[in-house]
Amino acid sequence: MYARAEDLLKLRELPELAPPPGVWERVLEATRLRKAARRSRRRALAAAAAIVLAAIPLVYVATLDRSAPPKLFVAVQPVRMPGEGASYAPLVAESARLERLLAELPPPRPLMVGTAAGTVVGLEDRIALVDAQLSYAAARDLAPPYREALWGERVELMSALVYVRFAQTQGF
């Protein structure tokens, strides 16, 4: 519904009323308080974000395995194949089979999800650590149960890496 011209003229004839005393001061004060609260929330969010960003490297460093020697200083020695009657010979064969499977997979896509990249890097790092321990075990001719445990861990890690890399090729 549209206002008619005569209705508008009647509105102009109404007396002008003054606002109650202190209304404008209260309006200005409420506006100032809202702006201050908004600034306070922004500062609190910025401080929380800064704390989280500062904590990320600390959490990462805390999760590092300090027992592993730095990669640059790992002396890689050839791993001797187990002799006849070694209890871990099937694990060595399974590890070699998984290495072949991994090599036969198509190369990973140039872009991948960060969590998938982190999983691959974590598995590869753990495999490198186990390989260094296997080299040490072979050089020191450690007992077969120790080597069997290392080979078992390597097979589990390689299996997980093959599954992750296969899932990447399928687009999961």
For 132-171, write each residue's pLDDT tens digit: 998 888 888 888 888 888 999 999 999 888 888 888 777 6
Residue among 88, 162, 69 at smallest CA distance from 119: 162
Instruction: Tell which residue, 164, 154, 150, has the closest CA to residue 97.
Output: 154
| pLDDT, tens digit (0-9, with 9 covering 90-100), for 46-105 | 887 777 777 776 666 666 555 554 443 333 344 444 544 557 889 889 999 999 988 888
Q: Is the model more confident about 12 or about 78? A: 12
This prediction's pTM: 0.49
The confidence score (pLDDT) of residue 163 equals 86
Two structure tokens written together for 166: 């296969």
